[in-house]
Structure 1
Amino acid sequence: MPRIRILPEILASQVAAGEVVERPASAVKELVENSLDAGAGEILVEIRRGGAALLRVIDNGSGMSRDDALMSLERHATSKLADSAGLASICTLGFRGEAVPSIASVSRFRLTTREPQAVAGTEISVEGGVMRDVREAGCAPGTTVEVKDLFYNVPARRKFLRAETTESAHVEHQLRMHALAASGVRFRFRKDEREVFDLPAGMSRLDRVRWMTGTELGRELISLPLTHGNGVSVEGFVLPAAHARKGRRHQCVFLNGRPVEDSAISRGLAEGFRGALGDGLHPAAWMWIEIEPSMVDVNVHPAKREIRLHRPHELREVIAESVREGLAKAEAARRPVYKQPIAPGPSVPANVVEDRPVLRSPVAEVRPVFPAKSAPREWPASLPVQRTFETIAPAVPSPVATPQPALAVPELEEKAPPFRYVGTLRDRFALLESEDGLVLLDPRAARERILYERWLHDADGRGVESQTLLVPVLLEPGPRECELAIRHRDEFAKAGIDIEDFGSGTLRIGSLPDFLKLADARAFLSGLLDELAGGQLPGSRVAFDHLAKLLSRRAALAEAPRPQEAMRLLEALFRCELPYCAPDGRPTLSEFSMRELERRFAGGKSGGF
């Protein structure tokens, strides 16, 4: 065994950099936090080539003297923590003193700083952890940190950096979070010599949230009242349950000015909605929490993203109560207030039913008609479609004077046995009778299969025909979602969705597939991008098959199940190659044979009734 020895100082800093500096966005986070701790009122961040070639952070904070500037490059050197007692009451964003020396050990680093009362500033150059030059310099009060060629001397780390657009998106996301946390500070962001945004100081929290969400969603923000309880104050904004998303990336929580992630906070948000959220969905929220520093431990994660609360259940209850109160006030404000009696409208005769498709003959037997194996499948998009299933199934044509000749395809007829419509189960499943027993049809899973194969069939053949939108949809997703959509523009175009970069983090949707009729295209596309970004590895490609699965699932979820139209849906379902399962493997039809039913009612004994 080799002898135990102490690591060289440079190597130890490079090892520490592996925990602190994962990518350019990590370095930006640490440097911006130092600027905020220094009392900066204005911060400018510049990057080139995603931050790998250059990232520069300029602030007008308190600056440093020559001795402090030299000391800041030593490991574990900090002005924010003096003794172990201070560890229990940390009020600053940084406190370990690891960020600056770690960044300097894996880059070509330059620090320029000056205190407001000093005549001259100090400039220090470091290359790969080795100090090259220290001299006086003329500069404005504050600090400028310039990082070039990040990971140039650690090629194993550099090769794991993603595409420039991906790294730039992560940097922008990090700056957006800090801009929300510190609304009184001016933030400027420049990327490749182009200004991305300039947020003036003094903006309210509501204005900054509206800037982040966009104008459309900004109108639907629900303000949460300022809540105090057990040494905790909570205020913020949420979106209605209809805008809940997959994952928690749209939950921006700031505890004592620090962006954090914590399961107790997320549970409190969910509890505040009182069961109005679907399975697997999380509300979009922006919350600012002030808590006694001794009640939270921020020293549990190298990047300080996670925290540990002393009494998490109390914070959860305060958040839930704040959300409930905010939602109740918003609901009360939406209710119409009538100042005079309203004349009753004309009565509706009892024999008049709602104008919606109704199956007149519930016992009508339908045997799906299939094309020959050698002929390609045709999707009769030119036929009239049902109003409630216009995104799914073409209407069955009425019998005419020229009947279609019967096609003798016995093996396909075995795959599509005749059914009789019996009824519905809780307006969710269709009950059908087959030759061997009872069959349950899941309309939602069936629609997924139909749409999925429609997308694959059209993309492989003549291409998905798209319908140009009369008014293009403008989306303002997060920078990561926007970058992902632009990177996979060709896959979206193959699916019939035209996406363009409209600038300033905005996407322009010009067309949608002609067979996809959506009541709310904006919500459909926003949810699609959220789900796609949530399950995608950074920088990886999206296969069209995976995109088609997500598209079909979200399109099926966009409509309520209508089991009453089961027979019409079956006609389209049995045109598919795999009609018995959804694209993710869930069954579309489940059968309970007579033998199984008899055995259940016979209490496990053999024989019939």
Structure 2
Amino acid sequence: MSDIIKLLPDSVANQIAAGEVIQRPASVVKELTENAVDAGATEISVVIRDAGRTLVQVIDNGCGMSETDARLAFERHATSKISSADDLYIITTKGFRGEALASIVAVSMTELRTRREEEEAGTLIEINNSRVTRQEPCSCAAGSVFSVRNLFYNVPARRKFLKSDTTEFRHIITEFQRVALAHPEIRFNLTHNDQEVYRLPAGNHRQRIAGLFGKHYNQNLVSVETDTSIVTVKGYAGKPENARRSAGEQFFFVNNRFIRHPYLHRAVLEAYHGLLPPETLPAYFIYLTADPATIDVNIHPTKTEVKFEDERSVWQIMLASVREALGRFNVVPSLDFGPESAVEIPVIIGNTAPPPVPQIEFEHTFNPFEGTEYQRPETKWQWDAERNPPRDWESLFTITTRSGDRNESGSGDRISGGQSADAGEVTGQRRFFQVKNRYIMCHVISGIMMIDQKRAHERVLYEKYLASLDDGPKPAQISLFPVEVELNPADMVIIEEIAGQLRMLGFEITTGREGIVTITGHPSASRNASPLAMLETIIAEYKHSMEDPAIGERERIALSMARASAIQYGTPLTDTEMEELFDMLFACSLPNYSPSGKIVMSIITLEELDRRFS
């Protein structure tokens, strides 16, 4: 029997490795921009065409490469970042594996033009499917220009499963933001289909955050700064009132490297405990500086996962830092967090014994009332019920109606069913009660039904908006004064993607340059009086729903609109409004669950009530 184990060719091995490193065009942007940063560039330009399918080009003014280095850079595990195994424990550069360029050229047509400052001529190299097709001297500026064309042209299955252009470009923006946030001292430019998306000058971290996410962010940030022997924490945390439902504005950086760290994320959320609205996440931009020997970044090919030598201490420092920052800026009640009274945060390392408990001395036999002439005052209650009878006591037990519950005749003592409010003739009529302006209660044959008013309205609007997308445009309520808002490029991509569907549902919006969106009309059936708040909620809900791949495009639009337009908790409803919502809910195809799958109603049976009173 012949041998069956074979050594794969380099081209096949590179394509296998590319599946881990290069997952979409955004991965190419990440790897090439990080290489440009490692090359010492002070200006990096990223040019994109067709969301990276046609072209991803990264231009930098870094150190450049010689002819030999340029050719060797595309080999697997060829790198200038490390030279021995010991270097893995003191990594200070973005890359070190030597896999990125080999993975890119395995699934694309790549061209490199590079020149060092001291050389007169540069080097041009073209590689298709890991094979060098051209290498010659060329004229080019100092630095490097990587042009990656036709990504996944030789892997049709991978190219087929790429998402829409708007989705892929949104991922590119995310990777661009991560690198740009880590290095505010570098000028960054991003262009998509000949339109400038970002032009970021060199500056500090706060200026870079405002340049990426909008000028309004500048006033919504509080400074975080703590220096310990284990790690240095700097950055900014968002104010609780500006928290959003969608993730995407939460950034951790360790030694200027973006990381994902759920453990530290929980520490930040714990610092915000009791301050955030339900189901929202705060924005934060946290920069950690630690000794490279105390962290391990060689865990995942994307290098976004790290391990700390003492994660528990880092968690304590993170929690205390964010909590102190929120207190110092009066986001939470505090006594004194001024810098003049700041104390160093203690950290317990290893088996260090805890500090001694402070001892308080006091006199056990002291009695503050001993030897005083204190006497309890005499209180006399005198009330003659026959002489001074209470007036209008019957009004405490009289059923009254609000102005919204009056019938068309204007009579204030009639309920919607036409019965007298104080006659007690409500037998056979449906009666609704609102609890805490959140739940609607009514009696049913089996007991008491409780309905969540917000989820119920979301279900009604969700099915209504789904039908509207098929039936045609709905009427819009034109605003007397149009509202303008400046959106960051990532949100602008979402608006451009769903603009057609929003118009079908009654929104009238126009987009301009520099991220300006003008709202001239909004759906007439919406309960949200602020078109701007509606649009911001739609964007947040749309990004939040994108995390669920089971939700289709139409359902995502309808769900976002329903959440933005639904009755909010705390809104009082009249009897008529509660009855209409009740009828519309049970006219839906799935009245028991909200569009996101949460329970809308619950029935407390008579048996349960009997058990409570037994």
Displacement of 1:505 after TM fit? 4.0
Once the two structures are superposed, residues 41-69 of structure 1 have per-residue CA deviations (whole angstroms, 9 ceiling, x without a partner) of 01111122222222221111111122221
Structure 1 match to 2:38:
37
1:418 aligns with 2:429: yes
SS at 1:227's partner residue? strand
* C-alpha distance in structure 2 between counterparts of 1:469 and 1:254, whole Å: 43
Displacement of 1:363 after TM fit? 8.4
Question: Which residue type is aligned with residue 21 of structure 1?
Answer: I
Structure 1 match to 2:339:
none
Question: Which residue type is aligned with residue 590 of structure 1?
Answer: S
Once the two structures are superposed, residues 367-386 of structure 1 have per-residue CA deviations (whole angstroms, 9 ceiling, x without a partner) of xxxxxxxxxxxxxxxxx996
Alignment of 1:2-81 (within 5 A): 3-81=4-82
Once the two structures are superposed, residues 152-175 of structure 1 have per-residue CA deviations (whole angstroms, 9 ceiling, x without a partner) of 222222222233333333223322
Once the two structures are superposed, residues 246-275 of structure 1 have per-residue CA deviations (whole angstroms, 9 ceiling, x without a partner) of 343111222211111110221122112122
1:211 aligns with 2:219: no
Task: Work out whether residues 450 and 572 of structure 1, in 8 Å CA contact, stay in contact via their aligned partners in 2.
Answer: no
1:511 aligns with 2:512: no
Question: Which residue type is aligned with residue 222 of structure 1?
Answer: V
SS at 1:509's partner residue? strand
Counterparts in 2 of 1:460 and 1:42: CA distance versus 1, 3 Å: closer
RMSD value over aligned CA atoms? 3.5
* C-alpha distance in structure 2 between counterparts of 1:385 and 1:217, whole Å: 42
* C-alpha distance in structure 1 between counterparts of 2:460 and 2:256, whole Å: 49
Once the two structures are superposed, residues 471-522 of structure 1 have per-residue CA deviations (whole angstroms, 9 ceiling, x without a partner) of 4444455544432332222221122123333233444333211232436543
- Point out 4+ residue stretches in structure 1 off by more than 6 angstroms: 332-335, 403-407, 457-462, 537-541
* C-alpha distance in structure 2 between counterparts of 1:128 and 1:512, whole Å: 51
SS at 1:68's partner residue? helix
Structure 2 match to 1:465:
475
SS at 1:299's partner residue? coil
Task: Work out whether residues 53 and 151 of structure 2, in 8 Å CA contact, stay in contact via their aligned partners in 1.
Answer: yes
User: Which of 574, 579, 592 pairs up with 1:581?
Assistant: 592
Question: Which residue type is aligned with residue 489 of structure 1?
Answer: A
* C-alpha distance in structure 2 between counterparts of 1:284 and 1:293, whole Å: 27
SS at 1:265's partner residue? helix
Structure 2 match to 1:392:
none
Displacement of 1:599 after TM fit? 4.0
Counterparts in 2 of 1:449 and 1:56: CA distance versus 1, 3 Å: closer
Alignment of 1:447-466 (within 5 A): 447-452=457-462, 455=465, 463-466=473-476
* C-alpha distance in structure 2 between counterparts of 1:40 and 1:34, whole Å: 9
Counterparts in 2 of 1:592 and 1:189: CA distance versus 1, 3 Å: closer
* C-alpha distance in structure 1 between counterparts of 2:136 and 2:467, whole Å: 68
Counterparts in 2 of 1:573 and 1:15: CA distance versus 1, 3 Å: same
Counterparts in 2 of 1:569 and 1:74: CA distance versus 1, 3 Å: same
Task: Work out whether residues 326 and 332 of structure 2, in 8 Å CA contact, stay in contact via their aligned partners in 1.
Answer: no
Task: Work out whether residues 189 and 195 of structure 1, in 8 Å CA contact, stay in contact via their aligned partners in 2.
Answer: yes
* C-alpha distance in structure 1 between counterparts of 2:179 and 2:403, whole Å: 50
Once the two structures are superposed, residues 303-341 of structure 1 have per-residue CA deviations (whole angstroms, 9 ceiling, x without a partner) of 122222332232222222222222223227999xxxxxx
Structure 2 match to 1:412:
none
Question: Which residue type is aligned with residue 60 of structure 1?
Answer: N
* C-alpha distance in structure 2 between counterparts of 1:522 and 1:262, whole Å: 33
Displacement of 1:433 after TM fit? 4.8
Which protein has the larger Cα radius of gyration, Structure 1 or Structure 2? 2
Structure 2 match to 1:487:
497
Task: Work out whether residues 42 and 187 of structure 2, in 8 Å CA contact, stay in contact via their aligned partners in 1.
Answer: yes
Structure 2 match to 1:499:
509
1:597 aligns with 2:609: yes
Structure 2 match to 1:351:
none
Counterparts in 2 of 1:262 and 1:557: CA distance versus 1, 3 Å: farther
Structure 2: runs of 5 or more not aligned? 335-394, 419-426
Task: Work out whether residues 76 and 98 of structure 1, in 8 Å CA contact, stay in contact via their aligned partners in 2.
Answer: yes
TM-score between both structures, scaled by the size of structure 2: 0.78
SS at 1:126's partner residue? strand
Once the two structures are superposed, residues 100-133 of structure 1 have per-residue CA deviations (whole angstroms, 9 ceiling, x without a partner) of 1221222222222222122322222212211122
* C-alpha distance in structure 1 between counterparts of 2:415 and 2:456, whole Å: 26
* C-alpha distance in structure 2 between counterparts of 1:303 and 1:520, whole Å: 42
* C-alpha distance in structure 2 between counterparts of 1:128 and 1:453, whole Å: 49
Displacement of 1:582 after TM fit? 5.0
Once the two structures are superposed, residues 6-32 of structure 1 have per-residue CA deviations (whole angstroms, 9 ceiling, x without a partner) of 110111111111111112211111111
Counterparts in 2 of 1:204 and 1:333: CA distance versus 1, 3 Å: farther
* C-alpha distance in structure 1 between counterparts of 2:22 and 2:476, whole Å: 44
* C-alpha distance in structure 2 between counterparts of 1:582 and 1:212, whole Å: 38
TM-score between both structures, scaled by the size of structure 1: 0.79
SS at 1:598's partner residue? helix
1:567 aligns with 2:575: yes
User: Which of 445, 450, 461 pairs up with 2:455?
Assistant: 445
Question: Which residue type is aligned with residue 194 of structure 1?
Answer: Q
* C-alpha distance in structure 2 between counterparts of 1:63 and 1:93, whole Å: 17
Displacement of 1:97 after TM fit? 0.6
Displacement of 1:436 after TM fit? 5.4
* C-alpha distance in structure 2 between counterparts of 1:334 and 1:478, whole Å: 32
Structure 2 match to 1:158:
159
* C-alpha distance in structure 2 between counterparts of 1:423 and 1:541, whole Å: 33
Counterparts in 2 of 1:235 and 1:510: CA distance versus 1, 3 Å: farther
Structure 1: runs of 5 or more not aligned? 336-357, 365-383, 387-394, 408-415, 603-609
Question: Which residue type is aligned with residue 583 of structure 2?
Answer: R
Task: Work out whether residues 221 and 236 of structure 2, in 8 Å CA contact, stay in contact via their aligned partners in 1.
Answer: yes
Task: Work out whether residues 473 and 503 of structure 2, in 8 Å CA contact, stay in contact via their aligned partners in 1.
Answer: no
Task: Work out whether residues 417 and 434 of structure 1, in 8 Å CA contact, stay in contact via their aligned partners in 2.
Answer: no
Task: Work out whether residues 477 and 526 of structure 1, in 8 Å CA contact, stay in contact via their aligned partners in 2.
Answer: no
| Count of residue pairs brought into register by the alignment | 539
Structure 2 match to 1:378:
none
Alignment of 1:254-333 (within 5 A): 254-331=253-330
Question: Which residue type is aligned with residue 549 of structure 1?
Answer: L
Task: Work out whether residues 35 and 61 of structure 1, in 8 Å CA contact, stay in contact via their aligned partners in 2.
Answer: yes
State the percentage of identical aligned residues: 32
* C-alpha distance in structure 1 between counterparts of 2:88 and 2:212, whole Å: 34
Displacement of 1:199 after TM fit? 1.4
Question: Which residue type is aligned with residue 280 of structure 2?
Answer: L
Displacement of 1:540 after TM fit? 10
Question: Which residue type is aligned with residue 575 of structure 2?
Answer: M
SS at 2:223's partner residue? strand
* C-alpha distance in structure 2 between counterparts of 1:502 and 1:540, whole Å: 33
